[in-house]
Amino acid sequence: MVSARFSAILLGAGALVSAAPAPTPTQAATLEDRAASCTFSGSTGAAAAAASKASCATIVLSNVAVPSGTTLDLTKLNDGTTVIFEGTTTFGYKEWAGPLISVSGTKLTVKGASGSVIDGNGAKWWDGKGSNGGKTKPKFFFAHSMKQSTISNLNVKNTPVQGFSINSATDLTLDHITIDNTAGDVPNGGHNTDAFDVGSSTGITISNANIKNQDDCLAINSGKNIHFIGGTCSNGHGLSIGSVGGRSDNVVDGVVIENSSIFNSDNGVRIKTVYDATGTVNNVTYRDITLSGITKYGIVIEQDYQNGSPTGTPTTHVPITRLTLDGVRGSVTSSGTDVYILCGQGSCSGWTWKGVSLTGGKKSTKCSNIPSGASC
Ligand SMILES: *[C@@H]1O[C@H](CO)[C@@H](O)[C@H](O)[C@H]1NC(C)=O
Ligand SMILES: *[C@@H]1O[C@H](CO)[C@@H](O)[C@H](O)[C@H]1NC(C)=O
Protein backbone atom coordinates (compact mmCIF):
# COMPACT_ATOMS: atom_id res chain seq x y z
CA MET A 1 0.00 0.00 0.00
CA VAL A 2 1.30 3.47 -0.82
CA SER A 3 0.26 5.94 1.80
CA ALA A 4 -1.68 9.07 0.95
CA ARG A 5 1.28 11.06 2.21
CA PHE A 6 3.52 9.40 -0.35
CA SER A 7 1.07 9.86 -3.24
CA ALA A 8 0.68 13.53 -2.44
CA ILE A 9 4.40 14.11 -2.19
CA LEU A 10 5.09 12.18 -5.38
CA LEU A 11 2.48 14.20 -7.30
CA GLY A 12 4.22 17.33 -6.08
CA ALA A 13 7.58 15.99 -7.17
CA GLY A 14 6.14 14.95 -10.53
CA ALA A 15 4.89 18.48 -11.13
CA LEU A 16 8.31 19.79 -10.17
CA VAL A 17 10.05 17.44 -12.59
CA SER A 18 7.74 18.28 -15.51
CA ALA A 19 8.31 22.01 -14.97
CA ALA A 20 12.09 21.55 -14.94
CA PRO A 21 14.15 20.80 -18.06
CA ALA A 22 14.00 17.07 -18.79
CA PRO A 23 16.99 15.26 -17.26
CA THR A 24 19.14 13.27 -19.65
CA PRO A 25 18.29 9.57 -19.38
CA THR A 26 21.60 8.65 -17.76
CA GLN A 27 21.34 11.34 -15.12
CA ALA A 28 19.94 10.31 -11.76
CA ALA A 29 17.23 12.54 -10.40
CA THR A 30 18.69 15.06 -7.98
CA LEU A 31 17.70 14.99 -4.33
CA GLU A 32 15.53 18.07 -4.83
CA ASP A 33 13.53 16.32 -7.53
CA ARG A 34 12.70 13.41 -5.29
CA ALA A 35 9.94 13.04 -2.76
CA ALA A 36 11.34 13.64 0.70
CA SER A 37 9.85 10.54 2.26
CA CYS A 38 7.83 7.62 0.94
CA THR A 39 6.11 5.12 3.21
CA PHE A 40 5.24 1.63 2.02
CA SER A 41 3.36 -0.99 3.95
CA GLY A 42 1.45 -4.24 3.86
CA SER A 43 1.50 -6.97 1.25
CA THR A 44 1.93 -4.59 -1.70
CA GLY A 45 4.62 -2.54 0.07
CA ALA A 46 7.63 -4.44 -1.27
CA ALA A 47 6.56 -4.17 -4.93
CA ALA A 48 5.58 -0.52 -4.51
CA ALA A 49 8.92 0.29 -2.85
CA ALA A 50 10.82 -1.44 -5.66
CA ALA A 51 8.83 0.44 -8.30
CA SER A 52 9.25 3.86 -6.68
CA LYS A 53 12.68 3.52 -5.05
CA ALA A 54 14.37 5.96 -7.42
CA SER A 55 11.87 8.70 -6.53
CA CYS A 56 12.30 8.65 -2.78
CA ALA A 57 15.09 10.18 -0.69
CA THR A 58 13.80 8.25 2.32
CA ILE A 59 12.06 4.91 2.03
CA VAL A 60 10.08 3.88 5.10
CA LEU A 61 9.06 0.22 5.15
CA SER A 62 6.29 0.06 7.69
CA ASN A 63 4.96 -3.41 8.55
CA VAL A 64 5.76 -4.72 5.09
CA ALA A 65 4.73 -8.32 4.34
CA VAL A 66 7.00 -9.46 1.51
CA PRO A 67 5.20 -12.03 -0.68
CA SER A 68 6.64 -15.55 -0.89
CA GLY A 69 9.41 -16.12 -3.39
CA THR A 70 10.18 -12.42 -3.88
CA THR A 71 13.05 -10.21 -2.79
CA LEU A 72 12.49 -6.93 -1.03
CA ASP A 73 14.48 -5.28 -3.81
CA LEU A 74 16.30 -2.16 -2.74
CA THR A 75 19.15 -2.55 -5.19
CA LYS A 76 20.58 0.33 -7.18
CA LEU A 77 19.21 2.97 -4.86
CA ASN A 78 20.09 6.56 -5.62
CA ASP A 79 23.14 7.91 -3.82
CA GLY A 80 22.32 9.04 -0.31
CA THR A 81 19.02 7.20 0.06
CA THR A 82 17.83 6.38 3.58
CA VAL A 83 15.87 3.18 4.24
CA ILE A 84 14.02 2.74 7.53
CA PHE A 85 12.46 -0.53 8.68
CA GLU A 86 9.49 0.21 10.90
CA GLY A 87 7.17 -2.19 12.72
CA THR A 88 7.44 -5.85 11.73
CA THR A 89 8.74 -6.96 8.35
CA THR A 90 7.66 -10.49 7.39
CA PHE A 91 8.19 -12.87 4.45
CA GLY A 92 5.92 -15.45 2.85
CA TYR A 93 7.02 -19.07 2.67
CA LYS A 94 8.41 -20.72 -0.41
CA GLU A 95 11.35 -23.02 -1.08
CA TRP A 96 13.77 -20.83 -2.97
CA ALA A 97 17.30 -19.46 -2.63
CA GLY A 98 16.38 -15.82 -1.86
CA PRO A 99 17.60 -13.37 -0.84
CA LEU A 100 14.72 -12.06 1.21
CA ILE A 101 16.24 -8.56 1.18
CA SER A 102 18.78 -7.01 -1.19
CA VAL A 103 20.26 -3.53 -0.92
CA SER A 104 22.88 -1.84 -3.09
CA GLY A 105 24.08 1.69 -3.71
CA THR A 106 26.38 4.40 -2.41
CA LYS A 107 26.16 6.58 0.72
CA LEU A 108 23.10 4.70 1.89
CA THR A 109 21.73 4.73 5.42
CA VAL A 110 19.74 1.62 6.29
CA LYS A 111 18.32 1.44 9.79
CA GLY A 112 15.71 -0.08 12.01
CA ALA A 113 13.33 2.18 13.88
CA SER A 114 12.97 1.68 17.60
CA GLY A 115 10.89 -1.42 18.32
CA SER A 116 11.14 -2.76 14.77
CA VAL A 117 11.65 -6.45 13.95
CA ILE A 118 12.63 -8.16 10.71
CA ASP A 119 11.27 -11.66 11.13
CA GLY A 120 12.75 -14.22 8.73
CA ASN A 121 10.19 -16.79 9.85
CA GLY A 122 12.95 -19.42 9.74
CA ALA A 123 10.97 -22.17 11.50
CA LYS A 124 8.99 -22.71 8.29
CA TRP A 125 12.21 -23.83 6.55
CA TRP A 126 14.32 -25.31 9.33
CA ASP A 127 14.97 -29.00 9.01
CA GLY A 128 18.41 -29.29 10.60
CA LYS A 129 20.07 -29.45 7.17
CA GLY A 130 20.78 -25.79 6.49
CA SER A 131 22.25 -25.30 3.03
CA ASN A 132 23.38 -28.94 2.80
CA GLY A 133 20.07 -30.44 1.75
CA GLY A 134 16.44 -30.69 2.70
CA LYS A 135 14.34 -27.69 1.85
CA THR A 136 15.84 -24.96 -0.31
CA LYS A 137 16.12 -22.00 2.04
CA PRO A 138 16.33 -18.33 1.15
CA LYS A 139 19.39 -16.37 2.21
CA PHE A 140 18.43 -13.41 4.30
CA PHE A 141 20.15 -10.11 3.34
CA PHE A 142 22.45 -9.29 0.44
CA ALA A 143 24.58 -6.25 1.20
CA HIS A 144 26.33 -6.50 -2.14
CA SER A 145 28.05 -3.58 -3.84
CA MET A 146 27.19 -1.23 -0.99
CA LYS A 147 29.66 1.61 -0.81
CA GLN A 148 30.28 4.28 1.86
CA SER A 149 27.13 3.10 3.59
CA THR A 150 25.80 2.20 7.01
CA ILE A 151 23.37 -0.47 8.15
CA SER A 152 22.38 -0.02 11.78
CA ASN A 153 20.01 -1.07 14.51
CA LEU A 154 18.39 -3.91 12.63
CA ASN A 155 16.65 -6.32 14.95
CA VAL A 156 16.50 -9.63 13.08
CA LYS A 157 14.85 -12.87 14.13
CA ASN A 158 14.98 -16.37 12.74
CA THR A 159 16.87 -16.31 9.46
CA PRO A 160 16.03 -19.43 7.38
CA VAL A 161 19.74 -20.00 6.67
CA GLN A 162 22.69 -17.55 6.23
CA GLY A 163 22.13 -13.97 7.46
CA PHE A 164 24.08 -11.03 6.03
CA SER A 165 26.07 -11.65 2.87
CA ILE A 166 28.58 -8.81 2.49
CA ASN A 167 30.14 -8.98 -0.95
CA SER A 168 31.87 -6.51 -3.26
CA ALA A 169 31.24 -3.88 -0.59
CA THR A 170 33.52 -0.94 0.21
CA ASP A 171 33.50 1.25 3.32
CA LEU A 172 30.43 -0.35 4.82
CA THR A 173 29.59 -0.23 8.53
CA LEU A 174 27.11 -2.57 10.19
CA ASP A 175 26.41 -1.31 13.69
CA HIS A 176 24.16 -2.74 16.40
CA ILE A 177 22.81 -5.60 14.35
CA THR A 178 20.96 -8.16 16.45
CA ILE A 179 20.15 -11.61 15.15
CA ASP A 180 18.19 -13.88 17.46
CA ASN A 181 17.82 -17.38 16.02
CA THR A 182 17.35 -18.97 19.43
CA ALA A 183 14.09 -20.57 18.28
CA GLY A 184 16.25 -22.67 15.93
CA ASP A 185 18.08 -24.35 18.84
CA VAL A 186 15.84 -27.43 18.66
CA PRO A 187 16.26 -30.84 17.00
CA ASN A 188 16.01 -30.41 13.19
CA GLY A 189 16.17 -26.67 13.72
CA GLY A 190 18.36 -23.88 12.34
CA HIS A 191 21.62 -24.84 10.62
CA ASN A 192 24.21 -22.85 8.60
CA THR A 193 22.71 -19.68 9.99
CA ASP A 194 25.98 -17.71 9.68
CA ALA A 195 25.41 -14.15 10.85
CA PHE A 196 27.92 -12.28 8.65
CA ASP A 197 29.64 -13.78 5.60
CA VAL A 198 32.24 -11.43 4.13
CA GLY A 199 33.77 -11.84 0.66
CA SER A 200 35.70 -9.60 -1.76
CA SER A 201 35.06 -6.50 0.34
CA THR A 202 37.27 -3.69 1.61
CA GLY A 203 36.80 -1.43 4.62
CA ILE A 204 34.08 -3.31 6.50
CA THR A 205 33.27 -2.53 10.15
CA ILE A 206 30.87 -4.69 12.10
CA SER A 207 30.39 -3.15 15.53
CA ASN A 208 28.26 -4.07 18.53
CA ALA A 209 26.63 -7.10 16.94
CA ASN A 210 24.60 -9.39 19.17
CA ILE A 211 24.21 -12.80 17.58
CA LYS A 212 22.48 -15.99 18.70
CA ASN A 213 22.66 -18.54 15.91
CA GLN A 214 23.81 -22.01 14.84
CA ASP A 215 26.89 -21.32 12.69
CA ASP A 216 29.67 -18.75 12.34
CA CYS A 217 29.08 -15.42 14.01
CA LEU A 218 31.51 -14.02 11.44
CA ALA A 219 33.04 -15.83 8.46
CA ILE A 220 35.52 -13.97 6.28
CA ASN A 221 36.26 -15.79 3.03
CA SER A 222 38.14 -12.92 1.42
CA GLY A 223 38.56 -9.19 1.82
CA LYS A 224 40.78 -6.44 3.14
CA ASN A 225 40.64 -4.10 6.09
CA ILE A 226 37.85 -5.76 8.02
CA HIS A 227 37.05 -4.82 11.60
CA PHE A 228 34.74 -6.66 14.00
CA ILE A 229 34.41 -4.92 17.36
CA GLY A 230 32.27 -5.16 20.47
CA GLY A 231 30.40 -8.27 19.36
CA THR A 232 28.61 -10.86 21.45
CA CYS A 233 28.12 -14.27 19.88
CA SER A 234 26.43 -17.34 21.32
CA ASN A 235 25.35 -20.86 20.43
CA GLY A 236 27.20 -20.78 17.11
CA HIS A 237 30.58 -21.67 15.67
CA GLY A 238 32.65 -18.63 16.67
CA LEU A 239 34.57 -15.87 14.92
CA SER A 240 36.01 -17.41 11.79
CA ILE A 241 38.26 -16.71 8.88
CA GLY A 242 37.63 -19.13 6.05
CA SER A 243 37.57 -21.51 4.66
CA VAL A 244 40.03 -19.55 2.51
CA GLY A 245 40.88 -21.07 -0.87
CA GLY A 246 39.12 -22.55 -3.85
CA ARG A 247 37.07 -19.45 -4.73
CA SER A 248 37.76 -16.69 -7.24
CA ASP A 249 39.07 -14.41 -4.45
CA ASN A 250 41.29 -16.09 -1.89
CA VAL A 251 43.00 -13.16 -0.18
CA VAL A 252 42.28 -12.17 3.42
CA ASP A 253 44.50 -9.27 4.44
CA GLY A 254 44.11 -6.86 7.35
CA VAL A 255 41.52 -8.09 9.84
CA VAL A 256 41.01 -6.92 13.41
CA ILE A 257 38.54 -8.76 15.62
CA GLU A 258 38.42 -7.23 19.07
CA ASN A 259 36.58 -6.62 22.31
CA SER A 260 34.17 -9.48 21.69
CA SER A 261 32.70 -12.38 23.64
CA ILE A 262 31.77 -15.85 22.49
CA PHE A 263 29.56 -18.03 24.68
CA ASN A 264 28.30 -21.61 24.46
CA SER A 265 29.64 -22.12 20.97
CA ASP A 266 31.47 -24.87 19.11
CA ASN A 267 34.58 -22.73 18.65
CA GLY A 268 36.03 -19.41 19.71
CA VAL A 269 38.77 -18.27 17.35
CA ARG A 270 38.86 -20.21 14.07
CA ILE A 271 40.95 -20.00 10.90
CA LYS A 272 40.51 -22.61 8.17
CA THR A 273 42.29 -22.81 4.85
CA VAL A 274 41.50 -25.22 2.06
CA TYR A 275 43.54 -28.33 1.33
CA ASP A 276 45.59 -28.06 -1.88
CA ALA A 277 44.27 -24.56 -2.68
CA THR A 278 46.12 -21.26 -3.08
CA GLY A 279 45.54 -17.96 -1.30
CA THR A 280 46.66 -15.74 1.56
CA VAL A 281 45.71 -15.06 5.15
CA ASN A 282 47.83 -12.14 6.33
CA ASN A 283 47.79 -9.54 9.10
CA VAL A 284 44.93 -10.87 11.20
CA THR A 285 44.56 -9.78 14.84
CA TYR A 286 42.25 -11.17 17.50
CA ARG A 287 42.43 -8.88 20.54
CA ASP A 288 40.55 -8.97 23.84
CA ILE A 289 38.34 -11.93 23.10
CA THR A 290 36.51 -13.63 25.97
CA LEU A 291 35.35 -17.22 25.60
CA SER A 292 33.15 -19.40 27.76
CA GLY A 293 31.39 -22.72 27.35
CA ILE A 294 33.28 -23.59 24.15
CA THR A 295 32.57 -27.22 23.30
CA LYS A 296 34.97 -28.10 20.44
CA TYR A 297 37.99 -25.80 20.17
CA GLY A 298 38.88 -22.59 21.99
CA ILE A 299 41.33 -21.73 19.23
CA VAL A 300 41.47 -23.77 16.03
CA ILE A 301 43.75 -22.98 13.10
CA GLU A 302 43.99 -25.58 10.37
CA GLN A 303 45.23 -25.76 6.80
CA ASP A 304 43.50 -28.97 5.78
CA TYR A 305 39.88 -28.22 4.88
CA GLN A 306 38.18 -29.90 1.96
CA ASN A 307 34.48 -29.87 1.08
CA GLY A 308 33.62 -28.45 4.46
CA SER A 309 35.51 -31.02 6.54
CA PRO A 310 39.04 -31.37 7.89
CA THR A 311 41.21 -33.92 6.11
CA GLY A 312 43.86 -34.09 8.84
CA THR A 313 46.58 -33.38 6.26
CA PRO A 314 47.65 -29.73 5.99
CA THR A 315 48.94 -28.13 2.76
CA THR A 316 51.06 -25.01 2.41
CA HIS A 317 49.75 -22.78 -0.38
CA VAL A 318 47.39 -20.65 1.71
CA PRO A 319 49.98 -19.39 4.21
CA ILE A 320 48.81 -17.81 7.46
CA THR A 321 51.22 -14.97 8.18
CA ARG A 322 51.40 -12.17 10.73
CA LEU A 323 48.64 -13.57 12.93
CA THR A 324 48.34 -11.84 16.31
CA LEU A 325 46.39 -13.19 19.24
CA ASP A 326 46.48 -10.64 22.04
CA GLY A 327 44.28 -11.42 25.01
CA VAL A 328 42.21 -14.47 24.13
CA ARG A 329 40.95 -15.79 27.42
CA GLY A 330 38.35 -18.04 28.88
CA SER A 331 37.04 -21.53 29.23
CA VAL A 332 36.45 -24.61 27.13
CA THR A 333 34.26 -27.51 28.31
CA SER A 334 36.00 -30.72 29.41
CA SER A 335 35.01 -32.54 26.22
CA GLY A 336 36.54 -29.78 24.06
CA THR A 337 40.14 -28.90 23.24
CA ASP A 338 41.77 -25.64 24.29
CA VAL A 339 43.98 -25.07 21.25
CA TYR A 340 44.49 -26.95 17.98
CA ILE A 341 47.00 -25.82 15.34
CA LEU A 342 47.52 -27.85 12.17
CA CYS A 343 49.92 -26.04 9.87
CA GLY A 344 51.88 -27.26 6.88
CA GLN A 345 55.64 -27.05 6.93
CA GLY A 346 56.64 -23.36 6.86
CA SER A 347 53.15 -22.13 5.96
CA CYS A 348 52.42 -20.43 9.29
CA SER A 349 54.87 -17.70 10.24
CA GLY A 350 55.33 -14.37 11.94
CA TRP A 351 52.78 -15.09 14.64
CA THR A 352 52.55 -13.11 17.89
CA TRP A 353 50.67 -14.57 20.82
CA LYS A 354 50.32 -12.83 24.14
CA GLY A 355 47.79 -13.14 26.91
CA VAL A 356 46.38 -16.33 25.45
CA SER A 357 44.88 -18.28 28.32
CA LEU A 358 42.32 -21.02 27.85
CA THR A 359 41.37 -23.54 30.48
CA GLY A 360 39.07 -26.48 31.00
CA GLY A 361 39.54 -28.38 27.75
CA LYS A 362 41.92 -31.09 26.60
CA LYS A 363 45.43 -30.47 25.32
CA SER A 364 45.70 -31.50 21.69
CA THR A 365 48.26 -34.16 20.79
CA LYS A 366 47.79 -33.62 17.04
CA CYS A 367 49.18 -30.12 16.50
CA SER A 368 51.78 -29.79 13.76
CA ASN A 369 54.29 -27.17 12.61
CA ILE A 370 53.38 -24.74 15.37
CA PRO A 371 55.11 -21.46 14.51
CA SER A 372 57.31 -19.85 17.13
CA GLY A 373 55.32 -17.63 19.43
CA ALA A 374 52.30 -19.89 19.51
CA SER A 375 51.65 -23.00 21.54
CA CYS A 376 49.19 -25.85 21.61
C1 LIG B 1 33.41 -3.45 24.08
O2 LIG B 1 32.21 -4.12 23.71
C3 LIG B 1 31.10 -3.87 24.53
C4 LIG B 1 29.95 -4.69 24.01
O5 LIG B 1 30.27 -6.03 24.00
C6 LIG B 1 30.77 -2.39 24.52
O7 LIG B 1 29.73 -2.13 25.43
C8 LIG B 1 32.00 -1.57 24.91
O9 LIG B 1 31.72 -0.21 24.73
C10 LIG B 1 33.16 -1.95 24.00
N11 LIG B 1 34.38 -1.25 24.42
C12 LIG B 1 35.20 -0.70 23.54
C13 LIG B 1 36.41 -0.04 24.11
O14 LIG B 1 35.00 -0.74 22.35
C1 LIG C 1 47.09 -4.65 9.20
O2 LIG C 1 45.67 -4.55 9.15
C3 LIG C 1 45.15 -3.45 9.84
C4 LIG C 1 43.63 -3.57 9.78
O5 LIG C 1 43.15 -3.57 8.49
C6 LIG C 1 45.66 -2.17 9.23
O7 LIG C 1 45.17 -1.06 9.96
C8 LIG C 1 47.17 -2.17 9.23
O9 LIG C 1 47.64 -1.04 8.54
C10 LIG C 1 47.70 -3.42 8.55
N11 LIG C 1 49.16 -3.45 8.68
C12 LIG C 1 49.96 -3.55 7.63
C13 LIG C 1 51.42 -3.55 7.92
O14 LIG C 1 49.55 -3.62 6.49
pLDDT at residue number 33: 54
Q: Indicate if 317 belongs to the active site.
A: no
Measured distance CA(314)–CA(98) in Å, rounded: 35
Query: 202 and 232 in contact (C-beta within 8 Å)?
Result: no
Would you say residue 15 lies in a domain? no
pLDDT digits (tens, 9 = 90+) for 127-182: 999 999 999 999 999 999 999 999 999 999 999 999 999 999 999 999 999 999 99
Would you say residue 376 lies in a domain? no
Would you say residue 14 lies in a domain? no
Range of the domain at 90: 33-359
Would you say residue 69 lies in a domain? yes
pLDDT digits (tens, 9 = 90+) for 329-373: 999 999 999 999 999 999 999 999 999 999 999 999 999 999 999
Within a 10 A sphere around the Cβ of 71, how many other Cβ atoms? Answer: 19
Measured distance CA(209)–CA(331) in Å, rounded: 22
Nearest ligand (C-alpha, residue 256):
2
Residue 1 predicted with pLDDT over 80: no
- Residue whose Cα lies nearest atom 10 of ligand 1: it is 230
User: Residue 308 — very low, low, confident or very high, per pLDDT cuts 50/70/90?
Assistant: confident
Would you say residue 18 lies in a domain? no
Would you say residue 372 lies in a domain? no
pLDDT digits (tens, 9 = 90+) for 208-263: 999 999 999 999 999 999 999 999 999 999 999 999 999 999 999 999 999 999 99
Is 228 in a helix, a strand, or coil? strand
Ligand 1 atom nearest 259 alpha carbon: 1
Residue 5 predicted with pLDDT over 90: no
CB-neighbour burial class of residue 329 (10 A; exposed 0-12, middle 13-18, buried 19+): middle
Amino acid letter for position 53: K
Ligand 1 atom nearest 261 alpha carbon: 5
CATH number at residue 96: 2.160.20.10
Residue 186 predicted with pLDDT over 90: yes
Measured distance CA(239)–CA(236) in Å, rounded: 9
Measured distance CA(366)–CA(362) in Å, rounded: 12
pLDDT at residue number 24: 37
Ligand 1 atom nearest 230 alpha carbon: 2
pLDDT digits (tens, 9 = 90+) for 59-105: 999 999 999 999 999 999 999 999 999 999 999 999 999 999 999 99
Please, what is the average pLDDT of the chain? 92
- Residue whose Cα lies nearest atom 2 of ligand 2: it is 254
pLDDT at residue number 63: 98
* Pocket of ligand 1 from Cβ distances under 6 Å: 229-230, 232, 259
Torsion angle defined by CA atoms of residues 310, 313, 317 and 322, in that order, rounded to the nearest 10 degrees: 80
* The total number of structural domains that make up the chain: 1
Q: How far is the CA of 259 from the centre of ligand 1 (A)?
A: 6
Query: 371 and 351 in contact (C-beta within 8 Å)?
Result: yes
- Residue whose Cα lies nearest atom 8 of ligand 2: it is 254
Residue 272 predicted with pLDDT over 50: yes
